[in-house]
Amino acid sequence: MVMNQNNAVTRRTFFRTAGAVGAAVATSGLLNVPLTLAEEAAAPAVDVDALVAKQMGAGAIAMEKVQLDIPATAENAALVRMPVVIDHPMEANNFIQSVALFIDNNPNPFIAQFDLTPESGKAAIEFRARMAKSSKVRVVAKSNTGKLYGLVKEIQVAAGGCAG
Amino acid sequence: MADEIGSPKIRGPKDPVKKGEVVEFKSLIKHPMESGLRKDKATDTLIPAHFIESVVVEYGGKTVLKAVWTGAVSKDPFFSFFVKAEASGPLKMTWKDNKGQAFEASATLTVA
């Protein structure tokens, strides 16, 4: 997905674009784990946009500053490295106060939230997450002044992967 | 299962660091991190949720980091983060799970 790094897109536009890509992937049959009709009916789509807004506050998300440096294919869905780095100062009046991760296709898309402080010195954390299946991973960071920064990355789960 | 829970560990720099230096800490804890959505295949019943839901890091008399986790954080969670070294002292980490069990570990940071 190509995003214009210089423009702050609205949250709605940003996720609509991201969603369109996801839908295109799904309909083109590229996903390793096709849902049966029964499974689709049993798993109503969660409105991840609304979840992000609830967790991080509504507003435009600038698609910049956030890095998630991992391969596009996860070999072990139960242990997907999530090394998040936000290229932002951590000064007394200018810092990243919160970072949250969401995995759209998990039964519960909200994964974790990390509240940082200027004492963190660097806006970077790493942990490991379970992915139920191939999905968009969204990272949203909020500065102390309420500015939102984001990143969306499609992660394919290797065939035979089990969420555990 | 009980013996598979705990052993919280945290590791920072072994050697003294300079004041103002930003240093990395790495932590590990043994925990099943059951989401509550997984089925026990033998009995066909859901395995009850049992996961760490909060993590707090204290250093220099302040809370420097707080995290909220869910059952989608991997089993036996690894977590790393950074702290700006201000003064020598302990850095304490506390993990709490949804059953009310708490675990603590600390590392000593030496500022030369």
Identify whether residues A54 and A102 lie together within a single domain: yes
- The predicted pLDDT at position B4 comes to 80
Domain count, chain A: 2
Q: Across the interface, do A122 and B22 touch by the CB < 8 Å criterion? A: yes
In the structure encoding, which two tokens stand for residue B88, read together? 């020598």
DSSP string computed for chain B: -GGGSEEEEEE--SS-B-TT-EEEEEEEEE---B-S--EETTTTEEPPPB-EEEEEEEETTEEEEEEEE-TTBPSS-EEEEEEE--SSEEEEEEEEETTS-EEEEEEEE-B-
A22 & A46 share domain? no
Domain hosting residue A97, numbered range: 42-161
Whether A89 and A116 share a structural domain? yes
CATH at residue A98: 2.60.40.2470
- Which residues of chain A make contact with B35, given a CB cutoff of 8 A? 107-108, 130
Confidence of residue A14 (pLDDT cuts 50, 70, 90): low
Q: Is A42 on the interface with B (CB under 8 A)?
A: no
Q: Judge if A130 and A157 occupy the same domain.
A: yes
pLDDT given for residue A142 in this prediction: 97
Same domain for A137 and A68: yes
CB contact under 8 A, A79 and B74: yes
Same domain, A29 and A48: no
Q: What is the pLDDT of residues A78-91, one digit of tens each?
A: 999 999 999 999 99
Amino acid A18: pLDDT: 54
Q: Which residues of A touch B23 (CB under 8 A)?
A: 121
pTM confidence score: 0.81
Residues of B with CB under 8 A from a CB of A: 22-23, 35, 37-38, 59-60, 62-75, 77-84, 86
What local confidence, expressed as pLDDT, does residue A5 receive?
Answer: 46
Residues A108 and A155 in one domain: yes
Q: Are strands A148-157 and A73-74 parallel, antiparallel or unpaired?
A: parallel
- The verdict on A153 and A93 lying in the same domain is yes
Test B79 with A124 for CB contact under 8 angstroms.
Answer: no
* Chain B interface includes A90 (CB < 8 A): yes
> How confident is the model at residue A158, as a pLDDT?
82
Using the beta-carbon criterion (under 8 Å), do A130 and B38 form an inter-chain contact? no
Q: A 104-123 residues with CB below 8 A of B?
A: 106-108, 110-122
DSSP string, A15-42: HHHHHHHHHHHHHTT--SSPPPHHHHHH
According to the model, what pLDDT value does residue A90 have? Answer: 97
- A112, A132: one domain: yes
Same domain, A148 and A67: yes
Contacts of A78 in chain B (CB under 8 A): 74-75
Query: Are A77 and A26 part of one and the same domain?
Result: no
**Same domain, residue pair A84 and A10:** no
